[in-house]
């Protein structure tokens, strides 16, 4: 049977962007690292050096990107732009290295190439991932969708690993052997800039509508309905002089004030059918009404 339930709005965009980031990391590893290894004196030390550089730069980027990524407006577009620029710079350097082999001579040139070809792009890709995660979490939270195993972190990891695997296959088997490291890095840089050209979907907003408002001897009475994006039920609230007196979900009637919800749960667990209830104060009659709905034989007295 097909699952027709609403999907979290950020699931597929996050999966695609994570796969693109994984593909960029794969192209960086194959093209940039491979070009650096061509001039290495020893294969094993060079492989270890490139691997440690990528992992370290990626980890530092993740650490440095976490505070900004967790902000109310994560800088996803700016970080895609930074990743594309650094990978483009790596592509330019790789192209010059292939055209002018003399630039590759010396320890200083090797260190510079390792930083520009490997470390800088890996760092900016690490910066990007926390912002992507926060972006998706904000939209899923606004949609109030239960995504199960497809929660944002799981989606990010699956997309990243999938893009990494696909990128390794494409870059290692087809692209780098036929096009060379420079063009592959430049093409990947252009691909990383594509998300900056797409329109950014606004974060779903909560709407509030006044259903009733009047002046009474006790003050201003106002009833509002709050409509949330996604699957969450609308909520109605009763205000007296701008203080919330009661709240309930529109479809189920469940109370939304925490102490009312806790009292209802306690009564449901401890009371027996047909019990007598005495309420000192109606509290907008939310709890007495809920008791009456649950137990039609209950004897309810409310003293105002």
CATH hierarchy code of domain 11-196: 1.20.1250
Residue 46: the pLDDT is 62
Query: Is pLDDT at 246 greater than 90 in this prediction?
Result: no
Most confident of 56-65, 215-224, 239-248: 56-65
Residue-level pLDDT at 202: 66
**What pLDDT does 7 receive?**
45
- 35 Cβ neighbours under 8 A, 6+ residues apart: 94, 97, 98, 113, 117, 181
- How many residues does this entry show for the chain? 304
Contact criterion met (CB below 8 Å) for 247 and 256: yes
Closest CA to 156 of 289, 304, 9, 14: 14
What pLDDT digit, counting tens, does each position of 117-173 carry?
A: 889 999 999 999 999 998 888 777 766 555 554 588 888 999 999 999 999 899 888
Q: Which two tokens stand for residue 3?
A: 């699952």
Q: For the chain, which residues make up each domain, given as ranges?
A: 11-196, 207-303
**CA 193, CA 85: separation in Å to the nearest integer?**
8
**pLDDT at residue 138, rounded to an integer:** 79
What are the tens digits of pLDDT across the range 34-90? Answer: 776 665 555 556 667 778 889 999 999 999 988 876 666 788 999 999 999 999 999
Share of the chain above pLDDT 70, in %: 85
Whether the pLDDT of residue 189 is over 90: the answer is yes
The pTM assigned to this predicted structure is 0.67
Residue 151 burial (CB count, 10 A): 15
Cα–Cα distance measured from residue 98 to residue 84, given in angstroms and rounded to the nearest whole number? 21
d(CA 37, CA 75): 34
- DSSP, res 5: S
pLDDT at 229: 67
């Amino acid at each position: 049977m097909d699952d027709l339930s609403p999907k979290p709005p950020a699931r597929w965009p996050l999966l695609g962007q994570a796969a693109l980031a994984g593909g960029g990391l794969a192209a960086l590893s194959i093209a940039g690292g491979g070009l650096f290894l061509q001039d290495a004196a020893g294969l094993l030390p060079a492989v270890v050096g490139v691997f440690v550089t990528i992992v370290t730069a990626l980890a530092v980027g993740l650490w440095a990107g976490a505070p900004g990524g967790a902000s109310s407006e994560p800088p996803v577009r700016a970080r895609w732009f930074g990743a594309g620029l650094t990978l483009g710079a790596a592509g330019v350097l790789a192209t010059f290295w292939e055209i002018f082999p003399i630039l590759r001579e010396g320890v200083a040139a090797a260190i510079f190439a390792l930083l520009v070809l490997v470390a800088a792009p890996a760092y900016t890709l690490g910066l990007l991932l926390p912002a992507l995660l926060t972006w998706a979490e904000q939209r899923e939270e606004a949609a109030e969708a239960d995504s199960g195993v497809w929660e944002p972190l799981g989606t990010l990891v699956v997309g990243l690993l999938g893009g990494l695997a696909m990128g390794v296959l494409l870059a290692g088997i087809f692209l780098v052997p036929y096009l060379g490291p420079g063009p592959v890095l430049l093409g990947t840089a252009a691909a990383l800039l594509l998300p900056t050209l797409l329109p950014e979907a606004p974060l779903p907003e909560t709407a509030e509508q006044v259903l009733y408002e009047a002046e009474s001897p006790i003050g201003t009475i106002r009833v509002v309905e709050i409509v949330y994006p996604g699957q969450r039920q609308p909520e109605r609230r009763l205000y007296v002089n701008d203080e919330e007196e009661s709240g309930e979900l529109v479809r189920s009637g469940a109370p939304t004030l925490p102490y009312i919800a806790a009292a209802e749960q306690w009564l449901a667990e401890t009371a027996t059918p047909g019990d007598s209830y005495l309420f000192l104060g109606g509290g907008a009659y939310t709890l007495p009404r809920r008791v009456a709905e649950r137990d039609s034989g209950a004897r309810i007295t409310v003293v105002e």
